[in-house]
């Protein structure tokens, strides 16, 4: 497996806190070689129902880089803010 993708599906509860979180999270991703692939809002469902209307996809060089980012002190410090701001499901996929 080479690249890994962290997919976040979310429902924002507090837009102000979500803006604070979004303004800080990229700085925690960059040291692990992560890059934002895209961020968007659900337009339409062709099959099934998604529980969250928003999505973000972040690419990392490897699953170990993704794990390192998530376990980092910098990202762990943001989790309380994230939890106040939105309901989030984070999953990692490899290619």
The pTM for the full model equals: 0.92
pLDDT band at 77 (very low <50, low <70, confident <90, very high): very high
Return the pLDDT at 1: 65
d(CA 28, CA 50): 27
Any residues with CB less than 8 A from the CB of 1 and at least 6 apart, and which?
Answer: 62, 63, 94, 95
d(CA 57, CA 31): 17
Helix (H/G/I), strand (E/B), else coil: 52 = coil
Q: Above 80 in pLDDT, residue 35?
A: yes
Residue ranges per domain, the chain?
A: 1-40+67-87
Q: Above 90 in pLDDT, residue 84?
A: yes
Helix (H/G/I), strand (E/B), else coil: 74 = helix
């Amino acid at each position: 497996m080479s690249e890994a993708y962290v997919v976040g599906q979310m429902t924002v509860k507090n837009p102000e806190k979500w803006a604070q979180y979004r303004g800080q999270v990229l700085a925690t991703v960059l040291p692990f070689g992560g890059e934002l692939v895209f961020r968007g809002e659900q337009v339409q469902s062709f099959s099934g129902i998604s529980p969250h209307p928003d999505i973000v996809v972040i690419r990392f060089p490897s699953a170990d880089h993704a794990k390192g980012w998530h376990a980092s002190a910098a990202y762990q410090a943001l989790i309380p803010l994230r939890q106040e701001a939105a309901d989030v499901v984070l999953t990692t996929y490899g290619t």
